[in-house]
Amino acid sequence: MPYTLALSANLRNSGWVVKVFDLEGPETPHVTIRFKSKQSWRVSLRDKSFLDGGTWADIPEEIQQGIDQNLEQMRAYWDGQNPHNPIQSEDNDNAN
């Protein structure tokens, strides 16, 4: 089961969902933000940059705050589900 960020009823009922999915493979570690089934954004769990376009201006502030407040939990979940591609990988360390 994916890690699902708890959102207010208002956001949930409007169609917002925020998840870290299981077994993502060799992708950049990320959280997926979806609005209804029409739009989605992937945000890096390493540096909170948008992977496929978009900006924080596209996302409700409550979701931004929830990600900030739960970032370490989401990172730990990713690392537990994707041990082959941890947040602090050798490739990421060499990129800096």
pLDDT tens column, 37-65: 889 999 999 999 999 999 999 999 999 99
- Tokens standing for 69? 């407040």
The predicted pLDDT at position 10 comes to 97
In a domain? residue 96 = no
pLDDT at 94 over 90: no
In a domain? residue 94 = no
CB 16 within 8 A of CB 60: yes
Print the domain residue range for 44: 3-89
- Tokens standing for 81? 């589900």
pLDDT at 11 over 70: yes
CB 82 within 8 A of CB 23: yes
pLDDT at 76 over 80: yes
pLDDT at 8 over 50: yes
In a domain? residue 23 = yes
* Conformation bin of residue 54: beta by default, left when phi > 0, alpha when psi is -120 to 50: left
Task: Give the C-alpha separation, 52 to 55, whole Å.
Answer: 10
In a domain? residue 95 = no
In the chain, the number of structural domains is: 1
Task: Give the C-alpha separation, 62 to 76, whole Å.
Answer: 21
